[in-house]
Amino acid sequence: NVWPSSRLEATRMVVPLGSLFTPMKERPDLPPIQYDPVLCGRATCRAVLNPFCQVDFRAKLWACNFCYQRNPFPPQYAAISEQHQPAELIPQFSTIEYTLQRVPAMPLIYLIVLDT
């Protein structure tokens, strides 16, 4: 149950990688986060900061675990350290519900993939 942290690990994977996503499932045990998610800077990726990303606390950078793009933390994360981490980086919070402060420019798009 570990996401590959490097390209070498990704090429050595024997089992195909898959995930199950239920976007509208109600989770009363999750407190909503009252700020916008931190997104990957690459325009073709836009993945969200998560516990599986590699983080350099000294340089205030994080590496996207999907495209390996190194991204700076936004200014509100200036006090981030190994002892003071946001909820996105705590392994117990691998599922987070955000309350967006701004309305998305595009409508949400859901893609359903069936492999038979």
pLDDT band at 104; cut points 50, 70, 90 = low
How many residues in total does the chain contain?
116
pLDDT, position 50? 92
For 36-87, write each residue's pLDDT tens digit. Answer: 899 999 999 999 999 999 999 999 999 999 999 999 999 999 999 999 999 8
Q: Please report the pLDDT score of residue 113 as a whole number.
A: 83
Q: How many CA atoms lie within 13 A of 58 on its CB side?
A: 0
pLDDT for the residue numbered 80: 92
The mean pLDDT of the chain is 85
What residues form DSSP beta bridges with 48? 39
**How many Å apart are CA 115 and CA 49, to the nearest integer?**
28
Question: What pLDDT, on a 0 to 100 scale, did the predictor assign at position 93?
Answer: 80
Whole-prediction pTM:
0.65
pLDDT attached to residue 77: 92
Q: Is 116 a residue whose pLDDT tops 70?
A: no
Q: What is the pLDDT of residue 74?
A: 93
